[in-house]
Structure 1
């Protein structure tokens, strides 16, 4: 057994709490997201761009939930398996692949949902007030596309294609090249938890991408607030308050999701890569424990999304209400 294997030892948090957490999140997430996907695909007759974005977000959520059993088994049994065993390699490959693909697809879709909701505001009242050529191009053409269902479908397909094209080669390289170079004795070890140089570089790039997604949502939210203040000074918007409140609520919730679930993970990741180089086993264990907890927190967002849909999407909420009250009413018209 190598020194790294003896240095890295899971605590009760890793070996018990994380498997239990992933199991609970998996059960809740699979049920909620499967129900959500069924509603989006079969119960909403006329789908808006928002519903298309949400359907693809649910697909990414289901992918995360499918990876959760692998993650739970890894934390439960990883300290008992040999590093080069089939179980260790399969769990590592499938868990890492599903988790990272779904994470980055979710971030992109959340960003475009934020842009789409901002575009909904611009549709309502501002295009006719636009004067400059730049504003006409941005508000009248670019933002308009994000509200078009066909554009939303194409954009989501491109998102999946780009993420799959980037993540799959990285995970394959890690599994085939980096993972085989280690001399570790057990599956749960420093090599597995830290990755080699190439994986760490890819992780830092991914962290930068999380920051970019957060910046898109933040920009959409504060552009909305700024525009709202501007139009309130020149016109009465009392009859449109419901629309504005809906858009503002959507953007704010997406912003909170990124702050609570993804921002701690993205802030800690660079710190983790810097501090782990010190030859201190106790500190390294603390760093790894923190990383794994924050990764679980980021994954938890996928299981809680159906609750967010109920709070934010009026069409989804009415459809679920009709299903559980056994209503025979026809398809509900979308609310965008």
Structure 2
């Protein structure tokens, strides 16, 4: 069995995936450019959540920029040679940007959840002195609320993910050129990569589950914290603010679960099950992986809808584009993507 001829893409790969990416690209590009414009004009630049959201929109735009490449690759990649320029661009540039932006998005979503939880807990602790052993916990959480820390954290996230991904791609290309493999662009070696790709995928999967469990723990701690407050005092009107922050963290958890969890659960099994000479099995595994990766990429096109539903500043700004005014009944409401949570 030759590596270059083992994979024979079905219509699911050559038709369905290009069509899906073709629909996601304009929707995601328009929505995220609009979101970037609104955040740059309306969002307070000194707010921590603005730092996180601006990096999230940047990652979304980068993912959208790879969609035409991916659509072309899945439609025609089985007809290209590995040494062709289009194959190198689609494989190296598309894979690099897609995976860097995807895992940057995951960590930033985790940071937003921690920032929201820290903001609410700080305000609710204003009249409830925590125990001494909680001081360190509070100090770490409060870091996520600081704009300067958020900026440096995002820089570190981008650099770390970028370096790991670049190292894996460069290593794979060196090995490919040395042994003269990859006659066809769409092949097992391209889709699965070498040992460095497996190692990078393992690190990425570990990063995802750390972020996933962190958000889940934040949601659990928030519920427990609110239950404790409700037993000790009547929170009254503040219940709405607590509810919006709780909903915000829950939405982040749902995004991680629906869009990213399937791909990251399947990824280890993909590398375990793939080795062997069973081409039919390899085709199924590769196509499942690519569809789950497409599901993760679809999140970048859905983010503007999430901003519209959850962020009142974004909703008012979008409304103002068409009416040139802000309705009175929208003024003065707390936004869940800002730190406008008042003291308790």
- What TM-score results when the alignment is normalised by the length of structure 2? 0.91
Task: Please name the residue that 1:20 is paired with.
Answer: 19
Task: Please name the residue that 2:341 is paired with.
Answer: none
Shift of 1:46: 5.3
Shift of 1:151: 2.3
Task: Please name the residue that 2:132 is paired with.
Answer: 133
Seen in structure 2, the aligned counterparts of structure 1 residues 182 and 249 have a Cα distance that, compared at 3 Å, is: farther
In structure 1, list runs of 5 or more residues that go unmatched: none
In structure 2, distance between residues paired with 1:7 and 1:274: 18
CA contact (8 A) 2:45 2:51 kept: no
SS of the residue corresponding to residue 70 of structure 1 reads: helix
Q: Greater CA deviation, 79-88 or 43-52? A: 43-52
Seen in structure 2, the aligned counterparts of structure 1 residues 179 and 95 have a Cα distance that, compared at 3 Å, is: farther
Seen in structure 2, the aligned counterparts of structure 1 residues 277 and 243 have a Cα distance that, compared at 3 Å, is: same
SS of the residue corresponding to residue 131 of structure 1 reads: coil
Seen in structure 2, the aligned counterparts of structure 1 residues 268 and 46 have a Cα distance that, compared at 3 Å, is: closer
In structure 2, distance between residues paired with 1:180 and 1:47: 50
Task: Please name the residue that 2:203 is paired with.
Answer: 205
Spell out, residue by residue over 1:16-39, the C-alpha distance to the aligned partner (whole angstroms, 9 max, x if none).
111111111111111000110111
Task: Please name the residue that 1:95 is paired with.
Answer: 94
Seen in structure 2, the aligned counterparts of structure 1 residues 242 and 3 have a Cα distance that, compared at 3 Å, is: same
Task: Please name the residue that 1:112 is paired with.
Answer: 111
Seen in structure 2, the aligned counterparts of structure 1 residues 217 and 167 have a Cα distance that, compared at 3 Å, is: same
Seen in structure 2, the aligned counterparts of structure 1 residues 11 and 313 have a Cα distance that, compared at 3 Å, is: same
Aligned length: 333
Task: Please name the residue that 2:2 is paired with.
Answer: 3
Residues 1:77 and 2:83 are matched in the alignment: no
Residues 1:283 and 2:246 are matched in the alignment: no
Residues 1:233 and 2:231 are matched in the alignment: yes
1:220 pairs with one of 206, 218, 221 = 218
SS of the residue corresponding to residue 79 of structure 2 reads: coil
In structure 2, distance between residues paired with 1:87 and 1:181: 21
Shift of 1:182: 4.8
Shift of 1:44: 2.5
Task: Please name the residue that 1:43 is paired with.
Answer: 42
Residues 1:268 and 2:240 are matched in the alignment: no
Q: Which runs of 4+ in 1 moved over 4 A?
A: none
Q: How does 1:134-153 map to 2 (within 5 A)?
A: 134-139=133-138, 141-153=139-151
Seen in structure 2, the aligned counterparts of structure 1 residues 245 and 75 have a Cα distance that, compared at 3 Å, is: same
Spell out, residue by residue over 1:268-290, the C-alpha distance to the aligned partner (whole angstroms, 9 max, x if none).
01111111123221111111110
Shift of 1:138: 2.2
SS of the residue corresponding to residue 278 of structure 1 reads: coil
In structure 1, distance between residues paired with 2:228 and 2:308: 31
Shift of 1:180: 5.4
- What TM-score results when the alignment is normalised by the length of structure 1? 0.93
In structure 1, distance between residues paired with 2:45 and 2:200: 40
In structure 2, distance between residues paired with 1:175 and 1:66: 23
Task: Please name the residue that 1:55 is paired with.
Answer: 54
Seen in structure 2, the aligned counterparts of structure 1 residues 181 and 245 have a Cα distance that, compared at 3 Å, is: farther
In structure 2, list runs of 5 or more residues that go unmatched: 339-344
SS of the residue corresponding to residue 79 of structure 1 reads: helix
